[in-house]
Copies of this chain bind each other. A is one copy, B any other.
Amino acid sequence: MAHHPHAFLPGASKRLEALSDGVFAIACTLLVLEIKIPHFSQGLTMAQQWEIIKEAETLPSIVAFIFSFLNILIFWTNHDAINKVLVRFDTKTTYLNIVFLLFISLIPFTTAFLRENLSSFIANASYGLVLMLASVAAVMMYHHLAFRAKLFLPEVTMTSRKRVYIQVLSGPILFMIAIAAGVISTYISIAIYAITPISFMFLPQLDFDTKEEEKIKEQHQ
């Protein structure tokens, strides 16, 4: 019955969305458990307290929390943007989405691993690898939905599907560069991991055109 996997209920992607939102929310909130809590004994001066905070590496763990939190939610933003133009998920996308969520769930681990070992190439490459694999799963999902299974709303133009595909493809490439840059210096990788989600917020979001909008655009050119 491959031609109508979810024939019974049209709103079939609602629960996959709910599951995904749950995993995104938990993965980004669990990160807080990795922040190290400094303990001051009684009667310390404020300078001594800062010294303890420094030794406990609380600040780097907060910074790691922030950029992992943002990386996870940028993935969420894209997941959401693509879902908006979907008719439904099919079985293949369901499984690709599960694999995608698997990598999202691993981010709290790679964050803790990186924060513990900022100058280790292995820790840096692990962090980048998980982000890269999540991006690859996202690319595969997008490709299947937009070009193979024709599960996008039919009014979404092919031009805008292709334009967004290039944006989506930039993810794995960027993280591959970040991993490679770690050979030179792990601090370049870390900078890429930290700057990516913030810069993303100032770039145009994934955005699709309907056929009518495309016509208007063409007339204005």
Q: Which residues of A contact B (CB under 8 A)?
A: 1, 4-9, 12, 15-19, 21-33, 35, 37-40, 42, 44, 46, 49-50, 53, 62, 65-66, 69-70, 73, 76-77, 80, 83-85, 91, 94-95, 98, 101-102, 105-106, 108-109, 112-113, 116-117, 119-123, 153, 156, 201, 205, 207-210, 213
Contacts and interface: CB of A to CB of B under 8 A. Distances in A.
28 contacts: A1-B207, A5-B207, A8-B153, A8-B210, A9-B84, A15-B83, A17-B18, A19-B24, A22-B22, A22-B25, A22-B29, A25-B25, A25-B26, A26-B26, A26-B30, A29-B30, A33-B33, A37-B112, A39-B117, A40-B120, A42-B119, A49-B117, A49-B120, A49-B122, A50-B122, A53-B122, A66-B102, A73-B98
Q: In terms of DSSP, what is the predominant structure of the interface of chain A? A: helix
Contacts of A25: 19, 22-23, 25-26
Contacts of A42: 119
A62 B83 CA distance: 29
A102 B205 contact: no
A163 to B, nearest CB: 11
